[in-house]
Amino acid sequence: MKTEALEALACRVRDDLDHIAYASGEWVVPPRQEEGKTVLDVAVIGGGQGGLATCFALQRIGVHNVAVFERAEKGKAGPWTTFARMITLRTPKHVTGPDLGIPSLTPRAWYEARYGSAAWEALDKIDRHDWQAYLDWYSETLALPVIHDRTLEGIEWRDNLLHLTFRDAAGAVHEAIARRLVLATGIEGSGAWHVPAFIHERILAHLYAHTHQPIDFEALRGKRVGVLGGGASAFDNAATALEAGAASVSVCIRRKTLPRINPYRWMENAGFLGHFPELPDLTRWRFMRRIFDLNQPPPQDTFWRCSRHDGFSFHGDTPWNDARCEDDTVIVETPHGPMTFDYVILGTGFVVDFTQRPETAPFADNIALWGDRFQAPAGEESVVLDSYPYLGKRSEFLPRDPSRSDAPMLAAIHNFTFAATPSMGLSGASISGMRFGVDRLARSIACALFVEDGEAHLESLLSYDTEELTSLGRERDILR
């Protein structure tokens, strides 16, 4: 019955799209061949929610020569069934995004088709496994051109085109050519997950993991676990360890206490989501400095998920200053004395550093950052914000040195990762921002393609000779 309901919903989606199909046909100049390959108008890297929605948005406005390249196998894109350890999404259930305003394509429509309207009414937040199932259904229903098992390893600029090199899980090399590139590679897509040097250099690999890595939680049964970091993922992992039977889990943070205000709830309004990129640099800086300073607290239900266990403890004002191994345990040095753990989990987030991404490393030194383009007023500096890319109005990279040969290539690469946030506000890496960010990105790419081919479109008009008035009949004499 559930399958039949979802199939019926898929039919409704296609019918709805047919009703609003005006001006959604292909208009981009016919694709050309280069080196025996069809040149894509847009290559999207990342088949998670941001990449899928971007592909759909482009198709909605007539850009159909698009392909999505995803490194994971089907059903494994993004964090939802891999390293995410929350029970539900952190966003409210009514937040929409990938549907792009199509009611039958919303998460609610999918959930009601699968579980019923009463289940939706009783629901608090969407289960992360359900979210992945929704995205899989979404991709299949829209027949999106996703190519799995493709990891982007190189980008070259030749003859005003992006030449992309991919590698699959078996090691085979694949190539593609595109006019535009969208990096929809998620949270870590503009850098790397951060592991403090004293952990990486001094602690044996089997005694620690970052929250994004596979962790054998069953092996933590009866163990003392230390968690560094106070974000939602740190608490998700702490809860998972406790539920697996860890004897104790100590969550340590540098701040004196956890933040209580979630700025993301404030940001969920059409004014901010739709128009933040139009603000002057100083205003955008001040917005982001406040948002980054506030940070996000762990959701209330996530904190309760930890605190219901007797073995849970929380330690504010307890940064980890150093660590060492001793008899297969980890000794962590804090301002309040040493702490001993059998295993440590790092909820230390990520760094924005394009030199750490193989696809951007060769030209990372020419990507303009906020620190290159903006001088913060005294007392309002931020080393973190300085490291983020300073993007153009189309979410494209801008060059530090416009005279370099790779500068035109940067204009053809659109950053749709979390690193776009200081420039573009919430966009592709956040469900909350997708409704506005995806549409803005797709329209800006379509605009660039149209302007680039303006003369070809003019020639098309000049040669247009399809007659609409095909029969004059008795009116011929009158028209004379």
Q: What pLDDT score does 264 carry?
A: 85
350 DSSP β-pair partners: 193
DSSP 251-285: EE-SSSS-----HHHHH-SHHHHHHGGGS-HHHHH
Q: What pLDDT score does 54 carry?
A: 97
Q: Where are the domains of the chain?
A: 2-190+351-453, 195-260+297-348
Q: Which fold has domain 2-190+351-453?
A: FAD/NAD(P)-binding domain (3.50.50)
CB neighbour list of residue 255: distance below 8 Å, 6 or more residues apart: 230, 316, 317
Q: How far is CA 228 from the centre of its chain?
A: 24
DSSP 231-259: SHHHHHHHHHHHHTT-SEEEEE-SSSS--
DSSP 157-200: EETTEEEEEEE-TTS-EEEEEEEEEEE---TTTTEEE---HHHH
Q: How far is CA 448 from CA 54, 180, 328, 404, 426, in A?
A: 15, 9, 57, 21, 22
* CA–CA separation, 452 and 470 (whole Å): 34
Q: What pLDDT score does 476 carry?
A: 57
Please say whether the beta carbons of 63 and 449 come within 8 A.
yes
Closest CA to 57 of 137, 142, 134: 142
Q: How far is CA 396 from the centre of its chain?
A: 15
Q: Do domains 2-190+351-453 and 195-260+297-348 have the same CATH topology?
A: yes
71-74 long-range contacts, CB within 8 A, separation 24+:
71/148, 71/149, 71/150, 71/151, 71/152, 72/47, 72/148, 72/149, 73/148, 73/149, 74/136, 74/146, 74/148
Strands 37-38 and 33-34: antiparallel
* CA–CA separation, 457 and 57 (whole Å): 22
Q: Is 337 helix (H, G, I), strand (E, B) or coil?
A: strand
pLDDT digits (tens, 9 = 90+) for 260-317: 888 888 998 999 999 999 999 999 999 999 999 988 889 899 999 999 999 999 999 9
Mean pLDDT (10-residue bins), the chain, 480 residues: 88 97 94 92 97 97 98 92 92 90 96 97 96 96 98 96 97 98 93 96 97 97 97 96 98 93 89 96 97 89 95 97 96 97 97 96 98 97 97 97 97 96 86 90 97 97 93 64
Q: What pLDDT score does 139 carry?
A: 97
What are the backbone dihedrals phi and psi of residue 304, each rounded to the nearest 5 degrees, phi first? -65, -35
End-to-end CA distance of the chain: 67
Q: Is 227 helix (H, G, I), strand (E, B) or coil?
A: strand
| pTM attached to this predicted model | 0.94
Q: What pLDDT score does 174 carry?
A: 97
- In this structure, is the dihedral angle defined by the CA atoms of residues 23, 28, 29 and 32, taken in order, positive or negative? negative
* CA–CA separation, 151 and 72 (whole Å): 8
Q: Show the tokens assigned to 391.
A: 């993007």
Q: How would you label 89-124 residue by residue, b for 16+ Cβ within 10 Å and e otherwise? A: bbbeeebbbbbbebebbbbbbbbbbbeeeeebeebe
pLDDT digits (tens, 9 = 90+) for 427-453: 767 888 888 999 999 999 999 999 999
Q: What is the CATH number of domain 195-260+297-348?
A: 3.50.50.60
Q: Is 265 left (phi over 0), alpha (psi -120 to 50) or beta?
A: alpha
CB neighbour list of residue 374: distance below 8 Å, 6 or more residues apart: 281, 282, 285, 390
Q: Show the tokens assigned to 191.
A: 């850098």
Q: What pLDDT score does 472 carry?
A: 76
Q: Is 439 left (phi over 0), alpha (psi -120 to 50) or beta?
A: alpha
* CA–CA separation, 470 and 468 (whole Å): 6
Q: How far is CA 442 from CA 98, 149, 341, 413, in A?
A: 13, 25, 48, 13
Residue 376 carries which DSSP code?
A: P
3 state SS for 102-164: CHHHCHHHHHHHHHCHHHHHHCCCCEHHHHHHHHHHHHHHCCCCEECCCEEEEEEEECCEEEE
CB neighbour list of residue 412: distance below 8 Å, 6 or more residues apart: 157, 162, 179, 180, 181, 396
CB neighbour list of residue 199: distance below 8 Å, 6 or more residues apart: 208, 323, 344, 346
Q: Show the tokens assigned to 24.
A: 């959604």
Q: What pLDDT score does 427 carry?
A: 79
